[in-house]
């Protein structure tokens, strides 16, 4: 397996939230780790580390979370965003977005970075990367998890990482998605380069290599006259389909589908990525078109779940042991001292950072 691992983490929802005293320390420790990382391995490699779900989880555990805390993702991203605030020019790395409504502010935050001349790339390209990654994981990868968190990290030369999380209210599990921009050659074909997770279910995976023909046919169907498409779709409504189609056929109303198909017909998407980006095209539209592609043309999409992996470290809520506040504060001081030494050129900084490898942080 490549050491540059991006992908998905599937985690059980777990109660509790980081207390204020811990979050403040998380911010301070994340700030010093970020400083050391950017100094020692560089901004791009730090982003690469954050895109690795294993490294990210270990990072969260070092900051004070246990392995099965679903709040790790949102709190660590929040702490990291706060930690990087004020260090933009020093480190050249930035965090945008967050949980819930904050995630929708991502485009504006990216534009502000451009207005302040902090990024050397067209902000619209980064905004597109932010939006399409969310659309892929919410619409093209239909695994039963609704996105509620989206963090977009980038550095001044335009390299980027997305860390986003979805929730399945029925199973009470959360799933985390990692994207590494420098490793994405196609937004709609295997964008998660290496994926690890414990659980494996049945789902519609339109971004699998095996779904290539289904993507092409789906796009072709979207360009057809809505009247013709609905006529064919109503034939499918009479069929009994396999249980693997988690969105039931009766949930997709012909009248609603017609309205969306009218938009796709007028837009004339040239490829699946463009189709995915059309306003109003959601999971049900994609599923309906995918079913038609399979039943009319025989082009089966993939139903392979690409996610599996778990972790075991801890403890913001006392599992497997409580956070040692004294040791935590000493760690912050230790890293601050290491950065101070690095600024005056002492070679001891290298040994300081390498010690973090014991925590899977390098």
Place of tokens 């998407």: 269
For residue 308, the 8-state DSSP code is: -
Q: Which of 126-135, 175-184, 194-203 has the lowest mean pLDDT?
A: 194-203
Alpha carbon distances (Å) from 103 to 24, 95, 140, 209, 273: 22, 11, 19, 29, 22
Q: What is the DSSP letter of 205?
A: E
Three-state DSSP class for residue 165:
strand
Stretch 122-145: mean pLDDT: 94
State the average pLDDT over residues 283-293: 86
Where is 352: in which H helix or E strand? helix 348-354
Q: Has residue 349 got a pLDDT over 60? A: no
**pLDDT at residue number 209:** 93
pLDDT at 2 over 50: no
| More confident position, 351 or 303 | 303
**Measured between alpha carbons, how far is 165 from 174 in angstroms, rounded to an integer?**
7
Q: What are phi and psi of 242, to 5 degrees?
A: -70, 160
How far, in Å, CA of 57 to CA of 307, rounded? 15
Q: How confident is the model at residue 344 (pLDDT cuts 50, 70, 90)?
A: very low
pLDDT-based confidence at 314, cuts 50/70/90?
A: very low
Q: Read off the pLDDT band of 231 (50, 70, 90).
A: confident
If one compares 334 and 114, the residue with the highest pLDDT of the two is 114
Residue 245 three-state SS = coil
Per-residue model confidence as pLDDT tens digits over 169-190 = 777 777 889 999 999 999 999 9
Average pLDDT, the chain: 78
- The model's confidence at residue 292, banded by pLDDT at 50, 70 and 90, is confident
- pLDDT tier for residue 259 given thresholds of 50, 70 and 90: confident
Give Dmax over CA atoms of the chain in angstroms.
74
Give pLDDT, residue 226. 86
pLDDT digits (tens, 9 = 90+) for 12-45: 555 556 678 888 888 998 998 999 899 888 999 9
Name the least confident of 46-60, 66-80, 160-174, 306-320. Answer: 306-320
What SS3 state is found at 153?
A: strand
| Domain ranges, ordered by start, for the chain | 8-201+307-359, 209-304
Q: With H, G, I as helix, E, B as strand and everything else as coil, classify residue 14.
A: coil
pLDDT of residue 220: 93
- Phi, psi angle pair for 15, to nearest 5°: -70, 170
Higher model confidence: residue 231 or residue 86? 86
Alpha-carbon gap, residue 270 to 215, rounded angstroms: 11
- Report which secondary-structure segment, H or E, holds 255: helix 254-267
Tell me: pLDDT of 237 over 80: no
pLDDT confidence tier of residue 138, bands split at 50, 70 and 90: very high
């Amino acid at each position: 397996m490549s050491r540059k691992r991006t992908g998905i983490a599937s985690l059980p929802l777990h109660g509790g939230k980081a207390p204020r005293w811990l979050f403040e320390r998380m911010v301070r420790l994340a700030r010093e780790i970020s400083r050391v990382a950017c100094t020692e391995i560089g901004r791009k490699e730090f982003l690469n580390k954050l895109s690795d779900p294993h490294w990210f989880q270990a990072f969260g555990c070092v900051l004070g979370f246990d392995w099965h805390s679903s709040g790790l993702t949102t709190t660590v991203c929040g702490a990291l965003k706060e930690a990087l605030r004020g260090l933009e020019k020093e480190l050249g790395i930035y965090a945008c977005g967050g949980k819930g409504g904050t995630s929708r502010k991502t485009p504006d935050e990216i534009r502000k970075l451009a207005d302040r001349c902090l990024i050397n790339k067209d902000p619209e390209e980064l905004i597109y990367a932010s939006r399409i990654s969310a659309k892929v994981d919410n619409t093209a990868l239909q695994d039963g998890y609704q996105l509620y968190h989206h963090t977009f990290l980038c550095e001044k030369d335009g390299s980027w990482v997305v860390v986003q999380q979805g929730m399945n209210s029925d199973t009470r599990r959360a799933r985390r998605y990692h994207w590494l921009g420098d490793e994405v050659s196609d937004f709609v074909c295997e964008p998660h380069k290496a994926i690890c997770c414990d659980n494996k279910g049945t789902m519609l995976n339109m971004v699998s290599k095996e779904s290539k023909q289904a993507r092409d046919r789906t796009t072709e169907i979207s360009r057809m006259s809505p009247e013709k498409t609905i006529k064919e779709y109503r034939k499918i409504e009479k069929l009994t389909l396999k249980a693997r189609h988690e969105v039931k056929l009766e949930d997709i109303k012909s009248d609603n589908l017609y309205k969306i198909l009218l938009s796709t017909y007028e837009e004339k998407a040239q490829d699946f990525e463009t189709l995915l980006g059309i306003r109003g095209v959601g999971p049900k539209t994609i599923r309906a078109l995918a079913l038609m592609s399979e039943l009319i043309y025989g082009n089966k999409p993939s139903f392979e779940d690409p996610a599996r992996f778990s972790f075991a470290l801890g403890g913001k809520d006392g599992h497997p042991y409580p956070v040692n506040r004294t040791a935590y504060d000493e760690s912050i001081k230790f890293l601050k001292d290491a950065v101070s030494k690095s600024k005056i050129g002492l070679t001891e900084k290298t040994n300081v950072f390498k010690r973090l490898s014991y925590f899977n942080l390098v």
